[in-house]
């Protein structure tokens, strides 16, 4: 088995790891239990961060805008102070540190790859202040615990999470015949219903109609944040019967009797176990780990495992890994910038993320450059994980990631920034050679390309070496 | 008050009688024509950019946001003082405005709205390509799109091989690429290899490091590229910050700062395109306008109708083209927003037909699913 398997399903081998005797076993054994978060710094809860979100929004919208209505400079200044006080500029940086610390040091890196996958399948795109306060904890507290349950349970949790409901506006969706809908002459907002069908479960392949979207939106009415004057839109999710559309609904030919709160779980059950949903999500999983255009032959065993286990994600994940193993030698997969960065960090033991002590935040001064570094790098290489532009998340296709500027950014990172992230004890040429040997069959050829720089250890020399190494086809792809 | 609905429309119905489109074969049409789109994210307030001075209601509703020193366009409309270049070009028939226009989206979400302004569709997130990308593809213009941003904007998606320019924060030794170029072997590496070719063929000016936040340098480079006969034919700029809920201000507020940015970009393009400016159209794009009435924070909320700012030598004449809906309460959209009486996609479709030498009806079908979008080429552009 080629060493690239460790990068195909994980992040490569760190200098402290050696290739395992049975790589397939090594990989599939990582999927039964949820690894703890290793980050020694603070890991705030979703609820705490939602409270901060509320303080920020309330402070800006209800206080500052009114107070400084005539003075844009004073308003900007006060707003900046509020950002600092509520951590609006900080929490996303901390989340990136938690995430990258995990992928760098986890003993179950394969599990972590699936974590990234599901966070992107149920993506929260850039909207309001979700990236600042909510997307990170959502991925930690909603996505992650469900990875040892069934797909259906995952969809249930995601669909009723504050983050997804806010992201897709379900709190603004009123059944037109509900009490509040009639009183306020409000109607449905179809966003969430559409994405539940299109992106999260059955996909357009199921051939649903606009009427199906509307009917599903009716079922979903009432699942909303609890609004009050102080928390505004950051209140907990509940089911508001007074927003809920009365009457029976029909989605994809199945009738759901008027049953209030219980309708949602029933329809999610049917969607999450729908054969087209199973095929759609299995295809996405294979696309992520095997190749951009997976064949039926690759996908079918995953579908079988899904059916046999009634959608157990543990079993599904294992089947995906088996397929990735099986096709490792004959397929290629391009990795998007964040995974590439995580792999470089693990393989070459780079100094990211920043140590947890240095990530501590006082809520008095704005985060410093060092604290912002990782997030800045992610943004500059074009892959700030919580800021996908659309609810379909980041693309998993090579064609979307290969543009002149995006490739140049990788050259820039590897040749200019990376040298400053090399630990002082790892600056020797031999260190690079040993890392290459640990991870690449073709390490001799790779080494020959940087042989001419072997005596240099300055940042500039390291930049030439890493600039070449990190952009070779065998590192951009597995 | 002489601003009543429809009295601006002179000959606006000619489209009904135009059964076919006959592109003129002339020297002008042999010249490369450039289409530049500047996205104004956050909701550009058409009434701040191009205030209707002929209607006293505006002053009443916006006591704290009133503009002084408005530049004069005609007896009904003025221009924000920060949009100087448009005023200058107006004198030469090289600036014009479409007013009371918007994409057909009446929700008030930035995200849905921005998605729709780029896809040109009716349902948010349903389409995964942009109208400009589809327009280029339908016109068989491949590899001629230039985005001034790091990700390829949705607007340009749908056509392959676009270039983008958003220089990295530091210099990249492109000879590194020479060193590894030959390592990209086999079919599965072809896409990367051809992209490396694009990078290697870039002019030196596109290889230098610069501050991506420096709009001036980016616009300068774009102008340089667009001027080149074999260079890009389409460029897309992205500006945000138009979402001014508070301290929007008049001449000097937060919205004015953003308009100043637009002014800067157009100024640089105008100065540096030289002769090519005559064969260029610059159009703005936004997701919605803003409420007529100021809010408690002396800002404005998300609204509906807005305006399109236009510049370039391909404009027919200086004009404020509008089917003015009026500002009386009952004339407003939902009693609060300037209405939209022109589907802005009709303007974009017509602009593409001019710049890509295509039949507008063909483009309408290929790009906008055959939606009813009247051809405005006669009214707005030189054909």
Lowest mean pLDDT among A224-238, B37-51, B140-154, B246-260: B246-260
Residue A32, beta-bridge partner list:
none
Q: How many domains does chain A have?
A: 1
Q: pLDDT band at residue B360, thresholds of 50, 70 and 90?
A: very high
Q: How many domains does chain B have?
A: 1
pLDDT higher than 70, residue B6: no
Q: pLDDT band at residue B4, thresholds of 50, 70 and 90?
A: very low
Stretch B323-338: mean pLDDT: 92
Residue B181 at interface with chain A, using a CB cutoff of 8 Å = no
Share of chain A above pLDDT 90, in %: 87
**Is residue B171 in a domain?**
no
Phi, psi of A457 (to 5 degrees): -130, 5
**What is residue A72's predicted lDDT score, i.e. its pLDDT?**
81
Helices (H), A310-442: 313-326, 337-347, 356-359, 369-380, 398-401, 404-412, 429-439
Q: Which residues contact A367 (CB under 8 A, 6 or more apart)?
A: A89, A90, A93, A361
**Is residue B75 in a domain?**
yes
Q: pLDDT band at residue B208, thresholds of 50, 70 and 90?
A: low
Compute the distance between CA of residue A452 and CA of residue A358 in angstroms, rounded to an integer. 37
**What is residue B205's predicted lDDT score, i.e. its pLDDT?**
67
**Is residue B25 in a domain?**
no
**Smallest Cβ distance to A468: which of B171, B176, B298?**
B176
Would you call A65 and B191 a contact, using CB atoms and an 8 Å cutoff? no
Pairing of strands B78-79, B71-72: antiparallel
- Quote the tokens at residue B297: 């924070």
**Is residue A381 in a domain?**
no
| B173 interaction partners in chain A (CB closer than 8 Å) | 411, 415, 464, 467
**Smallest Cβ distance to B246: which of A69, A400, A406?**
A69
Choice between A16 and B42, residue whose per-residue pLDDT is larger: A16
Residue pair B120/B103 in contact (Cβ under 8 Å)? The answer is: yes
Partner B, chain A 325-344, Cβ-Cβ below 8 Å: 332
Q: pLDDT band at residue B105, thresholds of 50, 70 and 90?
A: very high
**What is residue B236's predicted lDDT score, i.e. its pLDDT?**
95
Phi, psi of B42 (to 5 degrees): 115, -15
Q: Which residues contact A99 (CB under 8 A, 6 or more apart)?
A: A136, A139, A385
Would you call B173 and A399 a contact, using CB atoms and an 8 Å cutoff? no
pLDDT higher than 50, residue A403: yes
| B117 interaction partners in chain A (CB closer than 8 Å) | none
**Is residue A81 in a domain?**
no
Residue A334, beta-bridge partner list:
A477
Lowest mean pLDDT among A271-280, A434-443, B169-178: B169-178
- Quote the tokens at residue A138: 């959502």
Would you call A68 and B247 a contact, using CB atoms and an 8 Å cutoff? yes
Query: Is the complex ipTM higher than 0.85?
Result: yes
Of A397-401, B232-236, B332-336, the range with the highest mean pLDDT is B232-236
Residue A407: name the closest of A333, A331, A334, A332 by CA.
A334
**What is residue B64's predicted lDDT score, i.e. its pLDDT?**
73
**What is residue B207's predicted lDDT score, i.e. its pLDDT?**
63
**What is residue A443's predicted lDDT score, i.e. its pLDDT?**
96
Q: How far is CA A5 from CA A305, B117, B290, in A?
A: 21, 42, 53
**Is residue A342 in a domain?**
no
Determine which helix (DSSP H) or strand (DSSP E) holds A57, and give its type and residue range: helix A46-57
**Is residue A362 in a domain?**
no
Would you call B168 and A169 a contact, using CB atoms and an 8 Å cutoff? no
**Is residue A180 in a domain?**
yes
Scanning every residue of chain B, which has its alpha carbon at the shortest distance from the alpha carbon of A376? B169
**What is residue A233's predicted lDDT score, i.e. its pLDDT?**
93
Stretch B334-361: mean pLDDT: 96
**What is residue B153's predicted lDDT score, i.e. its pLDDT?**
85
Share of chain B above pLDDT 70, in %: 86
Sign of torsion, CA B45 B49 B55 B58? Answer: positive
Would you call B180 and A449 a contact, using CB atoms and an 8 Å cutoff? yes
3-state secondary structure of B333: strand
Residue A343: name the closest of A14, A5, A22, A92 by CA.
A14
Q: Mean pLDDT score of chain A, rounded to an integer? A: 95
Q: How far is CA A266 from CA A103, A156, A211, B290, in A?
A: 36, 10, 18, 41
Residue pair B129/B367 in contact (Cβ under 8 Å)? The answer is: no
Residue pair B376/B347 in contact (Cβ under 8 Å)? The answer is: yes
CA distance B172 to chain A (A): 5
Q: pLDDT band at residue B71, thresholds of 50, 70 and 90?
A: very high
3-state secondary structure of A125: strand
Domain interval for residue B251: 32-161+232-380
Report which DSSP code applies to B77: B
Partner A, chain B 47-86, Cβ-Cβ below 8 Å: 64
Scanning every residue of chain B, which has its alpha carbon at the shortest distance from the alpha carbon of A394? B151
CA distance A31 to chain B (A): 31
Compute the distance between CA of residue A186 and CA of residue B372 in angstroms, rounded to an integer. 29
**What is residue B28's predicted lDDT score, i.e. its pLDDT?**
47
Task: State pLDDT tens for residues A93-110.
Answer: 999 999 999 999 999 999
**Is residue A174 in a domain?**
yes
CATH number of the structural domain spanning residue B144: 3.40.720
**Is residue B62 in a domain?**
yes
Would you call A380 and B168 a contact, using CB atoms and an 8 Å cutoff? yes
Task: State pLDDT tens for residues A408-432.
Answer: 899 999 999 999 999 999 999 999 9
**How would you label B297-321 residue by residue, b for 16+ Cβ within 10 Å and e otherwise?**
bbbbbbbbbbbbbbbbbbbbebbbb
Would you call A412 and B180 a contact, using CB atoms and an 8 Å cutoff? no
CA distance A475 to chain B (A): 11
**What is residue B17's predicted lDDT score, i.e. its pLDDT?**
40
Task: State pLDDT tens for residues A180-222.
Answer: 999 998 889 888 998 999 899 999 889 998 899 999 999 999 9
Domain interval for residue A224: 162-272
Residue A442 at interface with chain B, using a CB cutoff of 8 Å = no
Lowest mean pLDDT among A2-11, A67-76, A327-336, B307-316: A67-76
pLDDT higher than 80, residue B209: no
**What is residue B8's predicted lDDT score, i.e. its pLDDT?**
43
Residue pair B149/A379 in contact (Cβ under 8 Å)? The answer is: no
Sign of torsion, CA A170 A171 A172 A175? Answer: positive
**What is residue B247's predicted lDDT score, i.e. its pLDDT?**
67
**Is residue A252 in a domain?**
yes
pLDDT higher than 50, residue A394: yes
| A195 interaction partners in chain B (CB closer than 8 Å) | 125
Lowest mean pLDDT among A257-261, B80-84, B205-209: B205-209
Residue listed under structure tokens 């989206």: B105
Interface test with B, best of A61, A72, A198 (most B CBs within 10 A): A72
pLDDT higher than 70, residue B7: no
Compute the distance between CA of residue B328 and CA of residue A380 in angstroms, rounded to an integer. 48
Compute the distance between CA of residue A88 and CA of residue A361 in angstroms, rounded to an integer. 12
**Is residue B197 in a domain?**
no
**What is residue B24's predicted lDDT score, i.e. its pLDDT?**
46
Q: pLDDT band at residue A301, thresholds of 50, 70 and 90?
A: very high
Choice between A256 and B70, residue whose per-residue pLDDT is larger: A256
Residue listed under structure tokens 């490369």: B32
Residue pair A372/A268 in contact (Cβ under 8 Å)? The answer is: no
Task: State pLDDT tens for residues A309-367.
Answer: 999 999 999 999 999 999 999 999 999 999 999 999 999 999 999 999 999 999 999 99
Residue listed under structure tokens 């994809």: A252
Phi, psi of B272 (to 5 degrees): -100, -15
Stretch A279-295: mean pLDDT: 97
Q: How far is CA A351 from CA A15, A136, A454, B179, B206, in A?
A: 13, 22, 22, 27, 31
Determine which helix (DSSP H) or strand (DSSP E) holds B37, and give its type and residue range: strand B34-40
- Quote the tokens at residue B304: 């509906």
Compute the distance between CA of residue B293 and CA of residue B79 in angstroms, rounded to an integer. 19
Residue B10 at interface with chain A, using a CB cutoff of 8 Å = no
**Is residue B315 in a domain?**
yes
Residue B298 Cα to chain centre, angstroms: 27
Q: pLDDT band at residue B296, thresholds of 50, 70 and 90?
A: low
């Amino acid at each position: 088995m080629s060493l690239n398997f460790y990068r195909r399903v994980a992040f490569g081998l760190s200098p402290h790891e050696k290739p395992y005797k049975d790589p397939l076993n090594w990989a599939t054994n990582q999927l039964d239990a949820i690894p703890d978060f290793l980050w020694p710094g603070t890991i705030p809860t979703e609820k705490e961060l939602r409270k901060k979100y509320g303080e920020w929004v309330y402070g800006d919208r209800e206080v500052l805008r009114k107070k400084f209505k005539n003075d844009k400079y004073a308003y900007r200044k006060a707003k900046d102070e509020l950002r600092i006080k509520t951590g609006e500029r900080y929490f996303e940086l901390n989340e990136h540190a938690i995430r990258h610390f995990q992928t760098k040091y986890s003993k179950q890196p394969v599990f972590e790859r699936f974590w990234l996958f599901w966070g992107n399948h149920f993506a929260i795109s850039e909207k309001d202040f979700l990236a600042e306060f909510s997307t990170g904890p959502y991925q930690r507290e909603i996505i992650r615990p469900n990875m040892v349950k069934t797909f259906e349970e995952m969809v249930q949790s995601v669909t009723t999470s504050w983050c997804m409901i806010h992201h897709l506006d379900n709190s603004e969706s009123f059944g037109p015949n509900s009490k509040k809908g009639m009183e306020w002459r409000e109607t449905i907002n179809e966003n969430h219903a559409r994405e539940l069908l299109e992106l999260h479960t059955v996909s357009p392949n199921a051939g649903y109609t606009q009427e199906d979207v509307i009917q599903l939106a009716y079922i979903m009415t009432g699942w909303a944040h609890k609004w009050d004057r102080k928390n505004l839109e950051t209140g907990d999710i509940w089911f508001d019967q007074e927003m809920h559309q009365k009457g029976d609904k029909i989605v994809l030919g199945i009738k759901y009797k008027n049953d209030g709160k219980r309708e949602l779980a029933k329809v999610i059950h049917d969607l999450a176990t729908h054969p087209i949903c199973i095929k759609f999500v299995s295809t996405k999983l294979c696309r992520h780990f095997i190749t951009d255009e997976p064949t039926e032959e690759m996908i079918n065993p995953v579908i079988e495992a899904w059916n046999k286990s009634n959608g157990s994600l543990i079993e599904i994940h294992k089947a995906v890994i088996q397929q990735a193993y099986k096709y490792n030698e004959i397929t290629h997969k391009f990795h998007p910038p964040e995974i590439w960065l995580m792999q470089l960090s693990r393989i070459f033991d780079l100094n990211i993320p920043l140590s947890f002590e240095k990530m501590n935040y006082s809520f008095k001064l704005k985060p410093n450059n060092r604290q912002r570094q990782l997030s800045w790098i992610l943004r500059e290489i074009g892959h700030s994980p919580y800021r996908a532009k659309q609810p379909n998340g980041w693309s998993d296709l090579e064609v979307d990631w290969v543009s002149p500027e995006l490739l140049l950014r990788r050259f820039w990172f590897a040749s200019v920034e990376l040298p400053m992230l090399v630990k002082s004890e790892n600056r020797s040429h031999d260190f690079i050679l040993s890392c290459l040997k640990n991870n690449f069959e073709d390490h001799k050829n790779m080494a020959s390309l940087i042989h001419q720089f072997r005596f240099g250890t300055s940042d500039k020399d390291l930049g030439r070496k890493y600039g070449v190494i990190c952009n070779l086809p065998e590192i951009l792809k597995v | 008050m002489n601003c009543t609905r429809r009295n601006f429309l002179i000959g606006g119905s000619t489209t009904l009688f135009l059964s076919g489109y006959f592109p003129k074969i002339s020297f002008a049409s042999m010249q490369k024509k450039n289409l530049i789109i500047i996205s104004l994210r956050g909701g550009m307030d058409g009434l701040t950019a191009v205030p209707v001075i002929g209607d006293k209601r505006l002053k009443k509703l916006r006591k704290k946001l009133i503009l002084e020193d408005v530049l004069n366009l005609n007896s009904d409309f003025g221009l924000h003082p920060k949009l100087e270049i448009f005023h200058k070009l107006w004198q030469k028939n090289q600036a014009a405005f479409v007013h009371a226009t918007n994409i057909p989206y009446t929700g008030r979400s930035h995200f849905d709205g921005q998605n729709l302004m780029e896809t040109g569709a009716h349902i948010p997130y349903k389409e995964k390509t942009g109208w400009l990308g589809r327009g280029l593809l339908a016109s068989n213009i491949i590899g001629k799109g230039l985005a001034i941003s790091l990700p390829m904007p949705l607007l340009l998606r749908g056509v392959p091989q676009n270039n983008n320019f958003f220089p990295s924060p530091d210099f990249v030794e492109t000879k590194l690429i020479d060193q590894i170029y030959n390592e990209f072997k086999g079919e599965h590496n072809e896409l990367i290899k051809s992209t490396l070719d694009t990078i290697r063929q870039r002019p030196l000016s596109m290889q230098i490091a610069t501050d991506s936040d420096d709009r001036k340098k980016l616009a300068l480079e774009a102008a340089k590229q667009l001027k080149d006969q074999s260079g890009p034919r389409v460029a897309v700029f992205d500006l945000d910050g138009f979402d001014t809920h508070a301290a929007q201000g008049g001449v000097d507020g937060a919205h004015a700062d953003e308009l100043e940015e637009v002014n800067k970009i157009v100024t640089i393009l105008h100065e540096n395109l030289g002769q090519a400016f005559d064969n260029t159209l610059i159009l703005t794009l936004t997701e919605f306008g803003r409420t007529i009435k100021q809010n408690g924070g002396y800002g404005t909320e998300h609204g509906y109708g807005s305006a399109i700012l236009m510049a370039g030598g391909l404009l027919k004449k200086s004009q404020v083209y509008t089917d003015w809906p009026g500002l009386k309460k009952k004339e407003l959209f939902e009693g609060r927003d300037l209405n939209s009486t022109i589907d802005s996609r009709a303007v974009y479709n017509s602009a593409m037909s001019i710049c890509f030498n295509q039949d507008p009806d063909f483009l309408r079908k290929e790009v906008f699913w055959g939606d009813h979008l009247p051809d405005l080429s006669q009214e707005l552009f030189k054909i």
